[in-house]
Amino acid sequence: MTTATTEALVLTDRINRIEPSATMAVVAEADKLRGQGIDVVDFGAGEPHFSTPQHIKDAAIAAIHGNFTKYTAVAGTAELRDAIVHRHATDFASDYRREEVIASVGGKHALFNAIQVLVGHSDEVILPVPYWVSFKDIVRYAGGNCVLLQSDESQGFRVTAAMVARLITPRTRVIILNSPSNPSGAVMSPEDMTEVMRLAHERGIWVLSDECYVYLNYTGKNFSVGSLRAYKERMVVLGSLSKTYAMTGWRLGYALAPAPVVSAMAKLQSQSTSNPTSIVQKAAVAALNGPQECVEQMRRAYIELRDHVVSGLRSIPGVTCVQPEGAFYAYPNVSSFFRGGKVKSASDVAGKLLREAHVATVPGEGFGTSDHIRVSYATSKSELDRGLERMRKFFAAL
Ligand SMILES: Cc1ncc(COP(=O)(O)O)c(C=O)c1O
């Protein structure tokens, strides 16, 4: 009996519906090459290159010394939930209460819980393309069907309310928004986000707004749907400390949602992970209540890196790249090389680029498009230059 046959016999239909995360796969392959002593330039990982700010680390150390090392309430301590609510109200004029927020083990965990609570068998979930890898699989795991919204590259992959409206059917249960977007960096206008919320509210459809990159918006119009108080009863806002405070490894995310949704998410969390790590919760309070200059400093640094990488990519003959308006990814189009015969897809390009030029990127297929690769520019300028030079030589030889 082959391994595949064995797996089909012993594993559930539920687990067979999903794929491993494409971004995690690239990280693993790049690590393997590094383990062989190969010098890999890493544009694959979706995480800040900055260190977690010192005052946040100090709070975690103090928590350990103070023996804050036991179980907490499943949804997070009152102190943390209040800090999340306060930060969001200060920055986005929202008006959530403690009962309307849950802290989870990263934004991905909050998203997973929210989808399990809101999406049932055969429910339709509108999902803009390109999408962050986990949305599709988490919806599938819940038994839902993704209805893909194709955005337009010539319009910077921007999603509009009119595009969303065209896909609404009587089976639509949830609309997922992700602005700024991973992987395209596209930012929806506040007007379009407001109109999507209005449409959804009118029809009793949930909007799940993944705002993990909300502080990395370079348009000058930083916006959260959480500010639209009139539409709160159909809205879930997902947030994360991972990117905002360079805390990817700490695992702290949250959801702001109506109290019954938060209670249901806490029920699920109580039967899986229980509370996020107590020590991390103390660090998160320090991040949210402490000085915010670090956030603005990182945001400004990303803008410089964005400009540097986009002009570098655009200078490579055959590569085109729309201007990302947020997050820390560029999403260049490499389809002109498919005609040469050496590569036929984005996966081919990313695979060859890693194996032959030792530059890690993520192929677009994982994000629902086949013409692009994702380049994370959350790294130093000198590392960007090294990678761009390797890419220039690689593409010239294709
Ligand atoms: C769009 C989006 N949402 C959520 C997450 C989850 O982040 P975390 O689980 O680290 O909070 C990520 C991480 O890459 C992301 O890109």
Q: What is the pLDDT of residues 348-385, one digit of tens each?
A: 999 999 999 999 999 999 999 999 999 999 999 999 99
Atom number of ligand 1 nearest to Cα 105? 9
Taking the C-alpha atoms of residue 360 and residue 260, their distance in angstroms, rounded to an integer, is 43
- What's the gap in Å between 282 CA and the centre of ligand 1? 21
Atom number of ligand 1 nearest to Cα 253? 11
What is the model's pLDDT at position 2? 47
Atom number of ligand 1 nearest to Cα 23? 14
| Cβ atoms of 171 and 200 closer than 8 Å | no
Q: At what angle do helices 133-141 and 107-118 cross, to 10 degrees?
A: 40
Residue type for position 68: F
Helix, strand or coil for residue 231?
helix
What is the model's pLDDT at position 230? 96
Provide mean pLDDT across the span 326-335: 98
pLDDT tens profile 76-98 = 999 999 999 999 999 999 999 99
- What's the gap in Å between 108 CA and the centre of ligand 1? 6
Walk across the sheet containing 253-256 and list its strands: 101-104, 253-256, 235-240, 206-210, 172-178, 124-129, 145-150
CB of 132 within 6 A of ligand 1: the answer is yes
* 38-47, 50-59, 93-102: range with lowest mean pLDDT: 38-47
DSSP 3-53: HHHHHHHHS-HHHHT----HHHHHHHHHHHHHHTT---EE----S-SSPPP
Q: Could you tell me where the beta strands, DSSP code E, fall in the chain? A: 41-42, 101-104, 124-129, 145-150, 172-178, 206-210, 235-240, 253-256, 329-330, 359-360, 362-363, 373-376
User: What end-to-end distance do the CA atoms of the chain give, in Å?
Assistant: 42
What is the model's pLDDT at position 7? 55
Confidence band, pLDDT 50/70/90 cuts, at residue 5 = low
Segment of 21-25, 108-112, 217-221 carrying the highest mean pLDDT:
108-112
Confidence band, pLDDT 50/70/90 cuts, at residue 271 = very high
Provide mean pLDDT across the span 180-186: 98
- What's the gap in Å between 248 CA and the centre of ligand 1? 9
- What's the gap in Å between 181 CA and the centre of ligand 1? 10
CB of 46 within 6 A of ligand 1: the answer is yes
| Cβ atoms of 26 and 44 closer than 8 Å | yes
- What's the gap in Å between 239 CA and the centre of ligand 1? 9
What's this model's pTM, rounded to 2 decimal places?
0.95
